[in-house]
Structure 1
Amino acid sequence: MSLFRYTRAGQEPGAPRRHSPLLWIGLIAFIAGLLILAFAWLAGWLGRDRATAQSFTDTIEATGARHPGFRRAHSKGVCVTGTFQGLPAGAELSSARVFRQQQVPVLGRMSIGGADPHGADANARVRSMALQLVTDDGQEWRTAMNSFPFFAVPTADAFLEQTKAQIPDPATGKPDPAKMAAVAAKYPSVRAFGEWAKSAPWSTSWANTDYNGVNSFRFTNAAGKEQVVRWSMRPQAAFEAMSAEQRAQAGLDYLADEFQQRLTQGPVQWEMWVTLAEPSDAINDPSIPWPAERRQVKVGTLSLTAMQPQASGACRDINFDPLILPSGIDGTDDPILAARSAVYSVSFNRRERETASGAAKATGEAK
């Protein structure tokens, strides 16, 4: 019997088939249930063993003392402002307006690694630069870079493992060495990162530090040609190594004080370079550096001209999400990139709620 000629009792042949209202109600309820489950999953309410943005942020918070109103990582820093001037070489690689506009205003943040907003600048192994560039057509490019040349772990789950291992043991107040050693034994990149941290010289200033965007991104030019890149900011100021004696004698806000002094003498500048990937390069694993012989292209110059305290500066309430990108620049499938974006969002929302609720003021904290 043809399905198209099947009729129910009381229904004329050829008439549209009518479904029971209960069927539609059940279908709507089923779809609504799926949406609720999906929302709960993404929110971290289900599957607590998986690396959600919420569980990740909880783990980061557990590694040290709580400081309401501050960023969960790179808590101590200053706001900076300046400009970016793109070069034709950048415009050949990407259609992003930032490489064509004569001068793009920049709002940024210089910071140190760690979650202590009152820590000593000179004792921070990692220094960081975060930027927001807004072009005259309203498009934004936000990027967060660090002084290390590669990431310590290859995936978000590995990053969560590493962070959990850094949670202090209640009995000692320090991370368990056995847990730290287990993570290092499991991931060769953790051991390599540790060697970098021990052997690489410390710079004496934010101004003479290289900042690397260790994640991979995809540039697309006006002709539609794609090129995977990693970018970095290279200082025009000559590198100077910081001695152990200098670190011991440096003041609490050494980097901020030194940077402010430099700004009184004129703009502090970096050249922006992109490294072009080849087919054999690791695109989605930021723990693997690309070979030094890869082609590198200078695409612009960053000039910072002023500094403000982060408590009152314009950078205070900006989430430097690395996946806020203009047309002509796209993210890759790098899992660390996606994890950074998600955790930054959760951290931002938490500290904004703390500030709005007065929790930061109640503890005497300020951003």
Structure 2
Amino acid sequence: MSEFPKGAPSPASIVDALKAVAGDPPKARASFAKGQCVHGTYIPSNQAEEITRSRSFTRPSRVLARFSVGDGDPNVADSENLVPRGFSFRLGNSNHRSDILAQDCPVHYARTLEQMIAFLEVRVPGPDGKLDSEKIRAFSAANPETLHQVNYIAARPPPASFASTTYWGVHCFPATNAMDETRFIKFKIAPVGGEVALTESPANTRSIDFLHTELKRRVKKGNMRFSVMALLDRPNDPIMDLTVRWPDEDNREAVRLGTIVITGIEPNEACDGSMFDPAKLAEGIGHPHDEIFAARAVAYAISLKMRR
């Protein structure tokens, strides 16, 4: 994995900024603080080896996963309509492990580390606990690409269930198959059965934890299934800028790598005691080249240490 650029904000400063935006809750994740750990299985498709030789994706395995609500506040309402939902999962075993971090929007809110920390700093509440809306508007006007994520989320109704939303890996991963052919892919985790959004009933009539409650109820009734898809690159696709999508991304060629089946609720300690490490990718899936990814694993380790 490439190092993050010299002179750029450090991963530690990014973690500090994330926690400041959330009010610095103690022993909480810097982002996606509220969540539920689950377990299940992964079943590869017969097409997986065409895309990658990674044994994480071409062999059956157990799955450890975590559904979450974006934000550094562990008490954020599940109905909050301007934050992403997350789905992190671990495939393979200790020798061939891959951790994938996905969210229900296909873009990130910053192109560079400098832009990321500037985005966060203007959203740190003042001494009165309020945001400076003028400062946020000025930053957004100067950096319009930082609105792509929130505009995508705002244009879509919140999901009715963690099990009925599509999750995206915002990075572009180099994937190498058994023929030693490499191309870039994006991960798309699609719910088997399709997406289901909230009805028009007011969000404030729902429980603050309704997604988590529904998740536990759904797992008791039966399995939750997701198709792990690889979106395939085309010439000149942007691979460094996480604020933009690939052209015609929703309609381009995709290959199903396998299926994740969620079969049970796991105590949160099983996910909280370690971390889903984006740098853990079994050979056959390479590290993305963008600088956000380069700093991400370091930031996750810092956040883990702080919450311990």
Aligned residues of 1:79 and 1:308 also touching (Cα < 8 A): yes
Q: Partner residue of 2:69?
A: 112
Q: Which amino acid aligns with 1:126?
A: P
Any residues of structure 2 matched to 1:229-308 within 5 Å, and which? Answer: 229-243=185-199, 245-292=201-248, 293-308=251-266
Which portions of structure 1, spanning 4 or more consecutive aligned residues, are displaced by more than 3 angstroms? none
How many angstroms does 1:309 deviate by? 4.1
How many angstroms does 1:193 deviate by? 2.6
How many angstroms does 1:246 deviate by? 4.6
Gaps of at least 5 residues in structure 1 are 1-41, 353-367
Q: Which amino acid aligns with 2:10?
A: T
Any residues of structure 2 matched to 1:311-326 within 5 Å, and which? Answer: 313-326=269-282
Distance in 2 (CA, whole Å) between partners of 1:115 and 1:193 is 17
TM-score normalized with structure 2 length: 0.92
Q: Partner residue of 2:134?
A: 178
Label 1:270 to 1:279 Cα distance change in 2 as closer, same or farther (>3 A): same
Map Cα deviations across residues 134-167 of structure 1 (whole Å, 9 max, x no partner).
Answer: 23x7211001110112112211111111011110
Distance in 1 (CA, whole Å) between partners of 2:258 and 2:289 is 26
Distance in 2 (CA, whole Å) between partners of 1:153 and 1:58 is 17
Q: Partner residue of 1:81?
A: 39
Q: Which amino acid aligns with 1:117?
A: P
TM-score normalized with structure 1 length: 0.78
The answer as to 2:112 corresponding to 1:155 is yes
Q: Which amino acid aligns with 1:142?
A: D
The share of aligned pairs that are identical, in percent, is 28
How many angstroms does 1:253 deviate by? 1.5
Q: Which moved more, 1:181-190 or 1:203-212?
A: 181-190
Q: Secondary structure, in 3 states, of the residue corresponding to 1:215? A: coil
Aligned residues of 1:79 and 1:108 also touching (Cα < 8 A): yes
How many angstroms does 1:208 deviate by? 0.2
Aligned residues of 1:86 and 1:98 also touching (Cα < 8 A): no
Q: Which moved more, 1:148-157 or 1:71-80?
A: 148-157
Distance in 2 (CA, whole Å) between partners of 1:281 and 1:116 is 35
Q: Partner residue of 2:23?
A: 65
Distance in 2 (CA, whole Å) between partners of 1:303 and 1:174 is 42
| Partner residue of 2:96 out of 132, 139, 154 | 139
How many angstroms does 1:119 deviate by? 2.4
Structure with max Cα Rg: 1
| Partner residue of 2:80 out of 123, 127, 150 | 123
Q: Secondary structure, in 3 states, of the residue corresponding to 1:194? A: helix
Q: Partner residue of 1:97?
A: 55
Q: Which moved more, 1:324-333 or 1:236-245?
A: 236-245
How many angstroms does 1:72 deviate by? 1.3
Aligned residues of 1:220 and 1:226 also touching (Cα < 8 A): yes
Q: Secondary structure, in 3 states, of the residue corresponding to 1:279? A: coil
Any residues of structure 2 matched to 1:3-22 within 5 Å, and which? Answer: none
Q: Secondary structure, in 3 states, of the residue corresponding to 2:281? A: coil
User: Whose relative contact order is higher, 1 or 2, with alpha carbons under 8 Å and at least 6 apart?
Assistant: 2
Q: Partner residue of 2:182?
A: 226
Q: Secondary structure, in 3 states, of the residue corresponding to 1:332? A: coil
How many angstroms does 1:117 deviate by? 1.3
Map Cα deviations across residues 205-236 of structure 1 (whole Å, 9 max, x no partner).
Answer: 00001110010111011221101111110001
Q: Which amino acid aligns with 1:116?
A: D
Q: Which amino acid aligns with 1:131?
A: F
Aligned residues of 1:153 and 1:187 also touching (Cα < 8 A): no
Distance in 1 (CA, whole Å) between partners of 2:68 and 2:150 is 21
The answer as to 2:164 corresponding to 1:187 is no
Q: Partner residue of 2:123?
A: 166
Q: Secondary structure, in 3 states, of the residue corresponding to 1:139? A: coil
Aligned residues of 1:207 and 1:237 also touching (Cα < 8 A): no
How many angstroms does 1:349 deviate by? 1.4
Q: Which moved more, 1:88-97 or 1:118-127?
A: 118-127
Q: Which amino acid aligns with 1:128?
A: G
Distance in 1 (CA, whole Å) between partners of 2:69 and 2:121 is 21
Aligned residues of 2:22 and 2:71 also touching (Cα < 8 A): no
How many residues are treated as equivalent by the alignment?
A: 301
Q: Which amino acid aligns with 2:11?
A: A
Aligned residues of 1:126 and 1:148 also touching (Cα < 8 A): yes
Q: Secondary structure, in 3 states, of the residue corresponding to 2:275? A: coil
Q: Which amino acid aligns with 1:212?
A: W
Q: Which amino acid aligns with 1:100?
A: T
Distance in 2 (CA, whole Å) between partners of 1:316 and 1:186 is 37
Q: CA RMSD in A?
A: 1.8
Aligned residues of 2:8 and 2:113 also touching (Cα < 8 A): no
Q: Secondary structure, in 3 states, of the residue corresponding to 1:329? A: coil
Aligned residues of 2:107 and 2:148 also touching (Cα < 8 A): no
